[in-house]
Chains A and B, each alone.
Chain A
Amino acid sequence: MNKLRALILKFKSFRRIQKVVLLAFLLALAFTSVRIVHTATDMVYWHKHQDEPLNNWMTLHYVAHSYHIPPHVLYETLEMPDWPPDRRSLKELSQALDIPLETLKSKLQQAIVYARPPYPRPGPPQRHNRERSR
């Protein structure tokens, strides 16, 4: 307690410029520490959750690429031809297919679950799926 009082007294004895510089230094130190903790927790989070959550901007191909599954699985679940590749975002797709965005995401999520272990690896795209687009 006495030490704390001594510290406060010492701080009060500083000139104004010294106080300002010291406070700025402490603020910068606090900011950096917070950012370091933030970075570390972020890294731990991503290490535990290997998958990126589905986001409005993602395309079907990006989702397939990110989740390491063949893209035709996603097209099939939305009953869409997988050729030519669809370049629309999930949000645009949900509007075009007239499905609520969240429903579309959960459909994709379900398809992803069944396309990965422990389920067997999906086979090649169904022939009619490509022919439908011709």
Chain B
Amino acid sequence: MTSQILEWFVSYGVTALFFTLLLAAIGIPLPSSLLLIAAGSFIEQGELVLWQVLLFGCTGVILGDQVGYGLGRWGGRRLLQRFAAHLGGEDKLKQSEAFSLRWGGSGIFFSRWLVTPLGPWLNVSSGVTAYPWLHFLLWDILGEIVWVFLYLALGYHFSDRVQYFASLLDNLMGVSIGAAVTVILGWVVLHYFKSTDPA
């Protein structure tokens, strides 16, 4: 699958980049980071032009993020409200909206380029919790520009070893997310075992 996407990218250039980044932002598991690294390498070799890659890449991913937000806002939210009305979780919904408003911006920004696997989830959850769209768009644009530039720069710098760096980054991303979840759960374990006595 990954090799096939890269073949399309070699054949169709920035158009393939646009659609891959758009679909990946919606949540379809496509190797978008690898494609950006490859694009950086092709820029270094003079086969692609930087401004075109930036334009098509950023537009694709930002549009995809808006689709995810829209799905959450007009699909997921309605569904959740219906559930909340039946099950009586309206106060929880209000709480999560407040949390989203308080922390949403930095969450959106960092999930664009630092913990990218969380990106599609955050798009939908921002929509569900009705995070203001203009704020979402602003943080989204800022974060995605950082992501696109960062990965293009990596590809440009390590242009002769695209596959290696893509695989290394993928592994490191897994390690960082795993470590973050482990630390949070570790904290929860300590909290539960300190505050409550067994049985």
Contact = CB atoms under 8 A, between A and B. Distances in A.
Contacts of B171: 35, 38-39, 42
Contacts of A7: none
Given A15-B198, A66-B161, A92-B11, A28 B189 contact: no
Contact of A28 (B185, B192, B193): B185
Interface residues of A, number: 38
Contacts of A24: 185
Contacts of B11: 88-89, 92
B164 interface: yes
A52 B198 contact: no
* Interface of A, helix, strand, loop or mixed by DSSP: helix
B37 interface: no
A36 B178 CA distance: 10
A13 B41 CA distance: 57
Interface string A13-57: 111011001101100110110011011001100100000100111
Given A52-B161, A65-B160, A14 B199 contact: yes
Interface in B66-86: none
- How many chain B residues sit at the interface, stated as a range, is 35 or more
B107 to A, nearest CB: 20
B138 interface: no
Contact of A59 (B3, B10, B178): B10
Contact of B163 (A55, A61, A87): A55
Contacts of B3: 55-57
A43 B162 contact: no
A62 interface: yes
A13 B199 contact: yes
Given A18-B192, A35-B178, A89-B11, A43 B160 contact: no
Interchain residue pairs A-B with the least CB separation, the first 10:
A32-B178, A57-B6, A39-B171, A25-B185, A35-B174, A89-B10, A28-B182, A57-B7, A28-B181, A66-B160
24 contacts: A10-B198, A14-B198, A14-B199, A15-B198, A18-B192, A28-B185, A31-B181, A32-B175, A35-B171, A39-B172, A42-B168, A46-B161, A46-B164, A55-B3, A55-B6, A56-B3, A56-B7, A62-B42, A62-B45, A65-B160, A66-B161, A89-B10, A89-B11, A92-B10
